[in-house]
Amino acid sequence: MAEPEVTAALPEATWVKVAEVGDLGDGRVRTVVAGTRSLALTNCGGTYGALDNRCPHQGGPLGEGSIERGLLRCPWHGYDYDPTTGEPPGAFSDRPESFPVEVRDDGVYVSIRPPAPHVRTVSDVMVETMVAWGITHVFGMVGHSNLGFADALRRQEEAGNLRYIGIRHEGAAAFAASAYGKLTGRPAAAFAIAGPGSTNLLTGLYDAKVDRSPVLAISGQVPSKVLGQGAFQDVDLTGAFADVARTSRTVLPGSDHAELVTLACKTAILDRDVAHLVLPDEVQVLPAPGVAASGPTGRVPDLAIAPPEAAVDEALALLATARRPVVIVGHGARFDMPDVLAVAEALDAPVLTTFKAKGQISDHHPLGAGVLGRSGTPVASWLMNECDLLVVFGASFSNHTGISPYKPTIQVDFDRMALGRFSPVTVPVLGHVGVTARTLLGRLGDGPADRVDQRADVADRWSIWRAEKARRVADDRGRGVSSAAVFDAMGRHVPADAVVTVDVGNNAYSFGRYFECREQSVLMSGYLGSIGFGFPAAMGAWAAAPDRPIVAVTGDGGFGQYLAELTTAVKFDMGITHVLLDNSELGKITKEQRAVEMEVWQTDLLNPDFAEYARLCGALGIRVESPDQLDTALAEALAHPGPALVHVLTDTNLL
Ligand code: FES
């Protein structure tokens, strides 16, 4: 049977062909589409009828009903309607709208009136306010309880004001939005339906929350009149989001809708946190003619806060006597690195980074000492151990980084709660990282006469570490590729301006240890350490930085959680190069079980051929089984304009 002709929105009343003659047998009904109208087309004894497809009772799809005794019966609750006039039998009064039908030689036609002009809705006001606050990307899934808001998103996308990226699982939307915020400092939106769609957002939103990434989360909700009664998909979303979101508000018919969005955006940006709005179904389409959107003008202060004079004096006093100071930078210093580097240069001090700050200084910079801690290098740990003063910018002292609590420490952060978070520091300095660095630089003295220029130490330690890395790169037991070889090859091929997203597990540890950054940005799930982050984060990075190469690094366990998102990447033609290290197990957990002398149990994984899977999805897929195939595979994948997956079979014992 031929599909009915589907037309675009109609400018005026007109006849629209909806079916071929003979498509619809006697006593049958089916759904057809004309313009933006969905209709129930019926044939009763050769008499055709067309009714609005929405049953006036509760919106049941009449086109999926049946003809019984000459009446069209709604499939949901069995209400009957005359198939040509829509009249209900008996004393009932509700009737669906009916439309004239003509059967012509070339098909069945329905006369459709032009759609009524769009009346501005609450959702229009809210989406325009989001746009005014600079939200240009929405990751989400359109569904039953968010259609009114989705329609407003569509209008703004058609106006060129935002981009909507429809994902396959809401968890990916939240991770993508979190990564977007981590890279840019600006929020994207994650969008879901009521109930399960919104609860699927939670993990990615927690990732954003604990890593201080701004995200606006938007949930559809069941209609207000059934809210809280246990209706289908009725979940107390403000309760469910109370912990993960700095603010979670349900939008009511009488709310100041623009102001609620403004407060949510302001919270996300200024508190670097998750803000959440819940939109009951019927509120989304309430008319709001003449209601203006709002925006950030006059609502956001200058955040370049200068540090208190006394704290600066204390910091300078420590710096004046330090022979071997080192600078440690965290993710919170990512937008102020030129100022921080100027301080390091003036102190002749190495710059160590947390894992989340990897790449904020090149590993080839004369003062670049790489990552500190569990994912780090002996270069960084040696220099920290030898130092006599730590100068820490924008880092949060996680266990993973292991910043020594025993060294005198100056900590600079503009978040007052981050200062001395886990243990006391010698001089906590509250201030904007860039402003504070410039302030310190402007007043730095010469330091002690015996201050050490540590560039030679940095070079020496890198020389020792690179020799060791070369030995590990050469390791080959014939049971797969070593992680050192993978990241050594990536170091040769990944462009300097790339954004690299990493998952968790052995792949992430090895990436931190072996991959030498130039100017690449690195994104990861830091405090949450959530498996599955790597690939959806690459989607968020692609949206945030469309002109930069995007590289995802994952293990087989992590990518297994979001396999279907490869189809999203293909659909939107995302230029993501995905390097997948496949050891067919949750390798880090195997290691942990062995470390505490447990039996290795339930960490093995049954995997598909990921390269073949990529090709099935429409992406480029390349399989790498030996180290000599790495260079060709990476070069081909990085040159590919769309999504490409390099499936590397790795040796689980060569980390
Ligand atoms: Fe049609 Fe209830 S929705 S009878």
Q: Are residues 98 and 189 in the same domain?
A: no
Q: Are residues 133 and 246 in the same domain?
A: yes
Sheet holding 163-166, edge to edge: 163-166, 137-140, 188-192, 215-221, 274-280, 247-250
Q: Are residues 321 and 271 in the same domain?
A: no
Question: In whole angstroms, what is the distance from residue 653 CA to residue 632 CA?
Answer: 24
CA of residue 78 to ligand 1 center, whole Å: 6
Residues 7 and 38: beta-carbon distance below 8 Å: no
The answer to whether residue 293 sits within a structural domain is: no
Following DSSP, what letter does each residue of 523-559 receive, concatenated? E---SS--TT-HHHHHHHHHHH-TTS-EEEEEEHHHH
The HSE-up count of residue 173 (CA atoms within 13 Å, CB side) is 28
Domain count, the chain: 4
Domain with residue 34: its CATH number is 2.102.10.10
Question: Which residues, in sequence order, are bridge partners of residue 287?
Answer: 121
Question: Does the Cβ of 602 fall within 6 Å of ligand 1?
Answer: no
Q: Are residues 423 and 553 in the same domain?
A: no
Q: Are residues 495 and 524 in the same domain?
A: yes
Which residues, in sequence order, are CB contacts of 603 under 8 Å at separation 6+?
Answer: 585, 586, 587, 589, 590, 593
- Residue 654: the pLDDT is 79
Domain with residue 353: its CATH number is 3.40.50.1220
Nearest to 245 by CA among 223, 202, 276: 276
Ligand 1: which atom is nearest the Cα of residue 58? Answer: 3
Ligand 1: which atom is nearest the Cα of residue 60? Answer: 3
Question: Does the Cβ of 165 fall within 6 Å of ligand 1?
Answer: no
Which residues, in sequence order, are CB contacts of 537 under 8 Å at separation 6+?
Answer: 175, 176, 178, 179, 501, 523, 524, 525, 552
Banded model confidence at residue 634, pLDDT cuts 50, 70, 90: very high
The HSE-up count of residue 186 (CA atoms within 13 Å, CB side) is 16
Residues 115 and 36: beta-carbon distance below 8 Å: yes
CA of residue 65 to ligand 1 center, whole Å: 10
Question: Does the Cβ of 57 fall within 6 Å of ligand 1?
Answer: yes
The answer to whether residue 583 sits within a structural domain is: yes
Nearest to 106 by CA among 19, 8, 209: 19
CA of residue 410 to ligand 1 center, whole Å: 68
- Alpha-carbon separation of residue 573 from 87, 301, 488, 570, 643 (angstroms): 49, 38, 28, 5, 7
- Residue 93: the pLDDT is 86
CA of residue 93 to ligand 1 center, whole Å: 14
Question: Does the Cβ of 76 fall within 6 Å of ligand 1?
Answer: yes
Residue in this structure with the two tokens 């990861």, named with its chain if needed? 524
Ligand 1: which atom is nearest the Cα of residue 59? Answer: 3
Question: Does the Cβ of 108 fall within 6 Å of ligand 1?
Answer: no
Question: Does the Cβ of 81 fall within 6 Å of ligand 1?
Answer: no
Domain with residue 532: its CATH number is 3.40.50.970
Ligand 1: which atom is nearest the Cα of residue 77? Answer: 4
Q: Are residues 165 and 89 in the same domain?
A: no
Domain range for 25: 14-112
Q: Which tens digit of pLDDT belongs to each residue from 404-417?
A: 999 999 999 999 99
Residues 187 and 214: beta-carbon distance below 8 Å: yes
Q: Are residues 487 and 636 in the same domain?
A: yes
For the chain, what is the largest distance between any 2 Cα atoms, rounded to a whole number of angstroms? 105
Q: Are residues 490 and 440 in the same domain?
A: no
Q: What is the dihedral of CA 34, 40, 45, 48, to 10 degrees?
A: -30
Residues 53 and 68: beta-carbon distance below 8 Å: no
Q: Are residues 181 and 106 in the same domain?
A: no
Domain termination site, one of 284, 319, 348 = 284
Following DSSP, what letter does each residue of 193-227 receive, concatenated? -TTHHHHTTHHHHHHHHHTT--EEEEEEE--GGGT
Query: Stretch 281-294: mean pLDDT, rounded?
Result: 97
Count the Cβ atoms, other than its own, within 10 Å of residue 16. 22
Question: Does the Cβ of 60 fall within 6 Å of ligand 1?
Answer: yes
- Residue 10: the pLDDT is 46
The mean predicted confidence, pLDDT, of the chain is: 95
The pair of structure tokens assigned to 238 is 């403000």
Question: Does the Cβ of 62 fall within 6 Å of ligand 1?
Answer: no
The answer to whether residue 233 sits within a structural domain is: yes
Return the amino acid letter for 631: D
- Residue 11: the pLDDT is 57
Q: Are residues 176 and 74 in the same domain?
A: no
The answer to whether residue 299 sits within a structural domain is: no
Q: Which tens digit of pLDDT belongs to each residue from 7-58?
A: 444 457 799 999 999 999 999 999 999 988 999 999 999 999 999 999 999 9
The answer to whether residue 298 sits within a structural domain is: no
Question: Does the Cβ of 55 fall within 6 Å of ligand 1?
Answer: yes
Whether residue 201 has pLDDT greater than 80: yes
Q: Which tens digit of pLDDT belongs to each residue from 419-470?
A: 999 999 999 999 999 999 999 999 999 999 999 999 999 999 999 999 999 9
Banded model confidence at residue 522, pLDDT cuts 50, 70, 90: very high
The answer to whether residue 604 sits within a structural domain is: yes
- Residue 64: the pLDDT is 97
Query: Stretch 586-590: mean pLDDT, rounded?
Result: 90
Domain termination site, one of 405, 426, 456 = 456
The answer to whether residue 279 sits within a structural domain is: yes
The answer to whether residue 9 sits within a structural domain is: no
Domain termination site, one of 401, 426, 456 = 456
Nearest to 198 by CA among 149, 129, 267, 263: 149
Q: Are residues 70 and 126 in the same domain?
A: no
Residue in this structure with the two tokens 């099935």, named with its chain if needed? 616
Residue nearest to atom 4 of ligand 1 (CA): 77
Q: Are residues 81 and 221 in the same domain?
A: no
